Structure 1
């Protein structure tokens, strides 16, 4: 029988082209499946292929596009995330919020990348901790500081600080008028941040920031201004997308990563340690958040105790709420 001729060799270029094509199809399919979640939930029109809806949201005043889409779409919708991230659910529906924050709070966890950033900036307090047992223990500890009776007891401190704000604004306007200025230009964010910090210092920690005149107040205000200024820069948007896509970047020994939030963390930690060290031997329990933390810190071995570091983390979180409140 005549020998069969061998099959012609397939050029390597065809192999490589086929392999590249197959990998490309696989990657595109993966990204498409990964990004498309909750297919029954409506989505705003015209997302960018690369940036989704997120860059548009970032480039406009805070909340403007969310409000626009709530009006045109409804209380619940999803937006396309930048990069290869999954769609993002956006809702103001009371029932959905109740399901997430009250009925099933432990089913919704932070991503690994942002949990590390939370640890660096806010500390390992109630926002950072996860898991039903640990979160419930921390939540039950601090919840009593914010019941209705305690909130009513806050009012005298709030009125006192409001009086300081009024006096300071009057002096500022009078000074500007004395300079023959045609008008007094007032940066309200400066005044509201001092007011908010004063209120939180008094009602949560029993500490008087003296309307921004103490060294601690000046350091905290400066740190948060720097943090907010960076967050408003366009590079912050791209950094957020990058960290979500590659969360392992937060573990790199890069100076920027290691020092993120360091100033505010160091300042508040020093203040918290000072409060713990200089507090009297006993405080009226449930007077404020600090008295609850201090009592739990002193009651070592009772089963309801916390370490000094845990107390410091809670104080850091309380002062972070100052920054959130002043920006909203």
Structure 2
């Protein structure tokens, strides 16, 4: 490790070529930022993304990916994120209110006057945080209301996701993933476990189809210079600038991608942060004291001020460091390459 940095070579299953695991920040910058066209997504990654999300921003490579990033970038500019503040705060307030009502209802059911104290109420926070994050991405991304997880669409999405997660956690799901790395064509076969992975995408597309048509019709008669904050409108205008009509199929792929990427990933990050705080009560107490001493709800500007709520900033950054949204990304070197930065020297070779 002292000589090569955070880089190791490991064997792969089912006759697949050896895998080089790279965790050094400089090497990752060399691969993902400086030379992304020389390190493309693996066949397995693209096959899974196509099945789960379709041929969207995450699936695209090269010039197409660059153009799509440029098209969607205005939706996530500093000013646009600032405009999302009210939506995020509203979702958080609704979530807190809903959780309080649940606790009160559970306490009334379990209260026992013969006991000096009532038993504690145990809650699975993962289901609650998903409701809030889905609500936020639905409103700011697509102008769609999921009703804080209570709408029929939100309930069905939750059911499908849980079923898909259970299937992936089985031994068959684990072995299937290894087999697909060696034989990517398996991802396109009509296998029951694989079809369950597509169920979430198909249902999200059915929701998106209700929005796409009206958006296209509205934007067709508008000036392309208009600034849009929602993702669907941005893609429609991008397609017009490229001299083509927005494909509803492509539109739904992007809709599916941002619903999945903007919902479960954010909720998972929050859940891990809350779990780690619960495992370190002294840190949790320190953080609670800082927020109580602050005396009011932090604003967008407060959260971006390095001199305000310093401990909250540290907890957030450490949580994202320990539990990154994307823990790994598979890339394939198209040609032999040499990466040399400071003390790190690695020969990155074509593996297949």
Q: Same fold (TM over 0.5)?
A: yes
CA contact (8 A) 1:276 1:294 kept: no
The 5 Å alignment of 1:234-313 reads 234-257=171-194, 259-279=195-215, 281-282=218-219, 285-296=227-238, 299=240, 303=243, 306-313=246-253
Q: 2:154 aligns with which of 217, 220, 239?
A: 217
Match of 1:89, SS state, is strand
Deviation beyond 4 Å, 4+ runs, structure 1 = 39-42
Residue of structure 1 in register with 2:256 after alignment: 316
- Choose the corresponding residue for 1:204, options 141, 147, 150: 141
Cα deviation 1:122-144 (Å, max 9, x = unaligned): 111011122x2221222211122
Deviation, structure 1 residue 227: 1.7
Residue 211 of structure 2 aligns to a residue whose secondary structure is: helix
Conserved 8 A contact 2:53-2:257: yes
CA shift digits 1:134-156 (9 cap, x unpaired): 21222211122112111111111
205-214 or 80-89: bigger deviation: 80-89
Task: Give SS of 2:246's match.
Answer: coil
Query: How far did residue 178 of structure 1 move?
Result: 0.5
Larger radius of gyration: 1
- Count residues with an aligned counterpart: 255
Query: In the aligned structure 2, how far is the partner of 1:166 from the partner of 1:123?
Result: 34
- CA contact under 8 A between 1:176 and 1:183: conserved in structure 2? no
**Aligned mates of 1:119, 1:41 — CA distance in 2:** 38
Paired position in structure 1 for 2:126? 189
1:101 is paired with a residue of what secondary structure? helix
Q: Whose relative contact order is higher, 1 or 2, with alpha carbons under 8 Å and at least 6 apart?
A: 2
1:220 and 1:304 map into 2 onto residues whose CA distance is 32
What is the alpha-carbon distance in structure 1 between the residues aligned to residue 167 and residue 193 of structure 2? 12
Partner of 2:57: 126
Which deviations, in whole Å up to 9, do the C-alpha atoms of 1:257-308 show, x marking residues without a partner? 4x242321221111111112234724863222233124345x3x75375322
CA offsets, 1:14-66, max 9 Å, x none? xxxxxxxxxxxxxxxxxxxxxxxxx9986xxxxxxxxxxxxxxxxxxxxxxxx
TM normalised by structure 2 equals 0.66
Q: Mark the CA change 1:75 to 1:114 in structure 2 (over 3 Å): closer, same or farther.
A: closer
When normalised by structure 1's length, the TM-score is: 0.70
Task: Identify unmatched segments of 5+ residues in structure 2.
Answer: 112-118, 270-352
SS in 1 for 2:20: strand
Identify the residue that residue 59 of structure 1 maps to in structure 2. Answer: none
Which residue of structure 2 lines up, in the alignment, with residue 137 of structure 1? 67
Q: 1:241 to 1:134 in 2, by over 3 A?
A: same
Change in CA separation of 1:92 and 1:156 when aligned onto 2, cut-off 3 Å? farther
